[in-house]
Amino acid sequence: MTPRSRIAPLDVVWRTCDAAPECLGVAHEPYGRCLAHLTPAEAAELLRGLTPGQALDLRGTLLSEDLLTRVLDGMERHLGRARFDRAVFTGPARFGEVVFAGDATFDHTRFDRLASFYGARFLRNVSFREARFLREFSLHDARVCGHATFDHVMVRGDALFGAARFGAPPLTVTGNASIQKASFQKASFQKAQFHGFAAFDAATFHGDACFRGARFHRAVSFRGSDCGASAEFQGARFEGAAYLGPMRIVRRLSLAGVRACAPLHIDTSGCRVVLRAAAVLGRLAARLSDAEVDLRDATLAGLSTVTRRSGRLRVTSLDGLDADALTLTGVDLRGCGLGGLRRPEGLRLRECVFAAPPGGLGLRLGWPPVRWWSRRRVIADEHLWRGWAAQSADEHAAGPAGERAPDPARLAVLYERLRPGVDDTHVAADFAFGAMEMRRLGSPRGRIRLLLSLYWLACGYGLRAGRALGWLALVAAVAAGAVCWAAGARPEGKPAVHRPRVAVVRPAASVSRPAHGLGG
């Protein structure tokens, strides 16, 4: 057991026990001593005066299991305003099924053994600020109707919050307890430390769930939980596996600045997921539906996947992302720039949606004045550089907002580095075309640009077979027309004269004459 301090803290504002200088227990009149230092007769008299629903003040009191049971039974487990600040529970603290009709405070309280609030009902606010739980802490199936504060708590054992409800509408209870109006309040676990397993399975947060700066030394689970507003984990640290889902979040899941040394599993829908400046050293597996993901300045050291489960999944920023191996599956990248990736070759793109040039015929003042844009997939950076307008009402901008238009030479290199990670051969071909197009447009005017322009015009950098066939068909048609024209052309004003063909009779071969012999 940790020894109690002999110096009263400066924030102790109540009259302390006169029995011992080191005792911080609140003094009860007319005894001038705390409940733990009363004689058995005095304690029995004090307990007989307790009634259900009245206020209870046991601040700084040393409470054994038997003494706590006698207090709760004397009040029929129905407390009004309850104050247990700086109290020390030397034995198991069992508050199961207790109803707290007023505010309940356990600030700076120490629980040496089990602290169980199984099925407890807090009809107003509850605070465990800087409480210390040296063993297990259970709030399973509890109900908190007001604010729930667990800032700076430290739990050595397992923390069980399964099926708990925070910020829920108050329940109707018997008695004269005042019932507050229904409101959805926040549950705060800022800079809390969980040394054991932390379970929030099937927990319901009707308001915000704040875990900023919290530290989970072992595994934490939010399977089946529900958050009616935002779940905030900014700066949290996960040293064990973290299972954030399947869970429903209405507004935002913020994991900005978190550090995960073990696998991090995210499974949610209908919200924005922020992973800015997050450092995930283990595996990241995110399965999302109808969500937006922000991965700006994140570091993903392990094998990472972001997968669309259903609906639409849009990535808003990958600027500054440093990922060894990140696979994006079914992601909408029409408005996300890829030029800020630190290692584009580590990105794998599966069934992703990309931007496209404006379809149809284009007119402009420059050269060429008329151009027909072919349908191909382009990254948002090229879309921004060319100044193409948004293609649909869902797209607010063709490129990443607030970023400078990229250089075509850098875009050519980016296309080349991204192309090996594309699973679709058509998209890979479009990326190869985009690389050549950016190389052509980024080249200075001269021989190289002329050759690239001819290459583009002739066959689309060897990637547009239809264009080459078109040119071949055009040349063949022109040649055929020229032949036909030449064959049918005649001098003007001179009718054609048809001359009969005369048979030419060649003389027969001369017959050798016999030589005249000489008579003799």
> What residue spans define the domains of the chain?
54-171+181-350
List the structure tokens of 428. 């890979």
Cβ–Cβ < 8 Å for 198, 156: no
pLDDT at 453 exceeding the cut of 90: no
H helices of 14-116, where? 40-48, 65-74
Give SS3 for 235: coil
Whole-number average pLDDT of the chain: 84
- List, as one string, the DSSP characters of 337-350: --TT-S-GGGEEEE
Q: Specify whether the backbone of 245 is left (phi greater than 0), alpha (psi in -120 to 50) or beta.
A: left
Tell me, what's the pLDDT at 387? 77
Mean pLDDT of 56-65: 95
**How many angstroms separate the CA atoms of 31 and 423, rounded?**
81
Give SS3 for 506: coil
Tell me, what's the pLDDT at 21? 86
What dihedral do alpha carbons 34, 38, 42, 44 form, nearest 10°?
90
Tell me, what's the pLDDT at 277? 96
Count CA atoms within 13 Å of residue 175 on its CB side. 20
Cβ–Cβ < 8 Å for 79, 53: yes
Give SS3 for 242: strand
Span of 60-74, 404-418, 440-454 with lowest mean pLDDT: 440-454
Structure-token match 């109803």, residue found: 99
pLDDT at 320 exceeding the cut of 60: yes
Q: How far is CA 376 from CA 260, 331, 383, in A?
A: 39, 17, 12
Count CA atoms within 13 Å of residue 443 on its CB side. 15
Residue 248 φ then ψ, to 5°:
-105, 130
Name beta bridge partners: 5: none
Tally of helices (H runs) and strands (E runs) in the chain: 7, 41
Q: How far is CA 303 from CA 220, 281, 284, 327, 471, in A?
A: 20, 9, 7, 8, 47
**How many angstroms separate the CA atoms of 463 and 288, rounded?**
35
Higher pLDDT, 406 or 294: 294
Span of 244-258, 267-281, 303-317, 360-374 with lowest mean pLDDT: 360-374
Span of 68-82, 133-147, 227-241, 355-369 with lowest mean pLDDT: 355-369
Structure-token match 């071949």, residue found: 472
Tell me, what's the pLDDT at 460? 58
> How sure is the predictor about 180, in pLDDT bands with cuts at 50, 70 and 90?
very low
pLDDT at 516 exceeding the cut of 90: no
Pairing relation of β-strands 370-373 and 360-363? antiparallel
Please list, in sequence order, all residues whose beta carbon lies within 8 angstroms of the beta carbon of residue 377, skipping any fewer than 6 positions away.
354, 355, 356, 426, 427, 430, 431
Mean pLDDT of 54-67: 95
Residue 152 φ then ψ, to 5°:
65, 20
Please list, in sequence order, all residues whose beta carbon lies within 8 angstroms of the beta carbon of residue 390, skipping any fewer than 6 positions away.
396, 397, 398
Tell me, what's the pLDDT at 3? 47
Tell me, what's the pLDDT at 394? 44
Mean pLDDT of 439-452: 70
Tell me, what's the pLDDT at 222? 97
Closest to 106 measured CA to CA, from 123, 87, 125, 124: 87
CA angle 231, 233, 236 (to 5 degrees): 160
